[in-house]
Amino acid sequence: MDESYDVIVVGAGNGGLAAAATTAKGGLKTLLLEKHNLPGGCATSFVRGRFEFEPSLHELCMVGDEKKPDLVYNVFKELGAKPEWQYEHNLFRSIVKGEDGYDVTMKAGITPFMDSLESYCPGSKKAIKKLFEYQKNDWEATQYITKMKGKPNPLVMAMKYGNFMRMASHSMEDVLKALKLSPKAIDIMCTYWGYLGVPTDELSAFHYWNMMSTYIVDGAAMGKYRSHELSLSLCKVIYDNGGDIFYNSEVTSFLYNDKGEAIGVEINHDKKIYAKEIVSNLIPNRVANMSPSKDVPERTKKLINARSFGISTATIYLGLDCSREELGFDDYTIFISGSRGARAQYDKRDIYIVNCLNKVIPDATPEGTCSLFFTMPVFGEDIPKDMTPEKYEKWKNELAMRYIKDAEETLKISIIPHIEEIEIATPVTMARYLGTPTGTIYGYKLSSWDNLMARIAEERKDITVPNLSYCGGHYMRGDGFNVAYYTGNLIGHRIVKKLKGVESKQLQPGERK
């Protein structure tokens, strides 16, 4: 006899974990399916030698702490998940090489951040203060638009959400130029463009500033035991509330009835499992490819063909046989580039990030050692077309050595003699592990027409298959651990309300208890 559930969640990435935890805690019979033998997707860890590496998470925004909890903290608290949060209060160090370059360190906290920028770019403080004033009701506006199903009252928008209207219709660079910030201040303010994967001359000011401002207000957070700790804490919620998790269970087909309603999935080309509601943490392209063409709405086909895929990365994981202090690495996050401006950095792939987790969690590696984590934009299209397995090994090793040597020269430290373990991931790795087209880690590109506001306004029109919902980095709020947890929790609450008629209060971005 075929099994049946109230809810099947496909994919145990961040969004899928949050969705399954929410529906299980809401009293629904829930099954989470994962093709790998571990949960988390990008939120996991792996071991090489005596080092445990974090595959993707640099830091989380929208967390906060017990005294001032923000969105992510409240999602985990609501679900009863209890990771041990660690915090970093220097936002970043940014080094731009060359004659017109700079080396700046920005601090978290509204006043410390404004003071930091003022010290490097005199006269900027007044403009940044204005930005914080604009941000106050921005997320309230998005919730109003969501509530109105993409058809807000223009008078309400103009009278109540005027600041939002100023931000949402322009790029971040347009807003910063209008505030008369210097070119240097604009470049420093736009350092985080890679966290959303789109240059700030194209990225919505509302979206970028709300992300950056939460880093400034809350500082950056991460789990003490890597993001795998976050994933396991959500798995515990699922199990504690009677839910099931099937590992090594790859969904190979989505099932529909004669009315075009989603009714279940097939796993491993064999077993069929049915449910009242299906939640996909997989990108819609893959869902469409695993569904009969007649059951994929025409709008969905047009949308996934019109969208561009977001960036992917190459990542270098280094386990070093010396301590962070011996290495001379005094920061947690350092951005390094040879070009000024987000657009040039994007077009030339001329930026990379170096993280040292030991700065925040000293015992993240064995005593007398430390780890470094390099991340650089490498798109699927950047991989040579004539790639073979033999050439691939040579190509990725040369890529890694180029960035390691550049970091040695820029930071005036010696890395290569201390390498005990090294692992290199590329878009090929991401495509194989995550199952995403071109190895994208960011879902769909947040382009000018497909931006955050357009996705929120059009969400109900875009998801039209009855009983099928989406969550995760490809969904309406774009990528990032924080919004994946939020969208999973959001969809979970919707399904609990639909199936049980229970209204629940989910905290919204920017809302604090």
Q: Using CA atoms, how far apart are residues 418 and 402, in angstroms rounded to an integer?
A: 16
* Residue 510 clears pLDDT 60, i.e. is over it: no
Round to whole Å and give the CA distance between 139 and 508. 8
The pLDDT score that the predictor gives to residue 305 is 93
Q: What is the pTM of this model?
A: 0.93
Which pLDDT belongs to residue 509? Answer: 54
Instruction: List Cα–Cα distances, 511 to 136, 139, 212, 434, 505, in angstroms.
Output: 10, 8, 16, 31, 12
Q: How much is the pLDDT for 235? A: 98
pLDDT at 138 over 80: no
Asked if residues 205 and 189 have their Cβ atoms less than 8 Å apart, the reply is no
CA distance 203 to 447: 7
**What's the topology of domain 3-54+69-83+224-307+450-500?**
FAD/NAD(P)-binding domain (3.50.50)
Tens digit of pLDDT for each residue in 8-36? 999 999 999 999 999 999 999 999 999 99
Q: What pLDDT, on a 0 to 100 scale, did the predictor assign at position 136?
A: 67
Per residue in 407-439, pLDDT tens? 999 999 999 999 999 999 999 999 998 888 999
pLDDT digits (tens, 9 = 90+) for 158-171: 788 877 777 778 89
Domain ranges (residues) in the chain = 3-54+69-83+224-307+450-500, 111-212, 313-377+384-425
Angle ∠(34,470,135) on CA atoms, nearest 5: 120
Confidence of residue 381 (pLDDT cuts 50, 70, 90): confident
Contact 92, 231 (CB under 8 A): no
Is 80 exceeded by the pLDDT of residue 287?
Answer: yes
Report the DSSP beta bridge partners of residue 271.
267
Apex CA 46: angle with CA 40 and CA 49, to 5°?
170
Interval 301-340: pLDDT, tens: 999 999 999 999 999 999 999 999 999 999 999 999 999 9
Residue carrying the six token digits 């930071």? 411
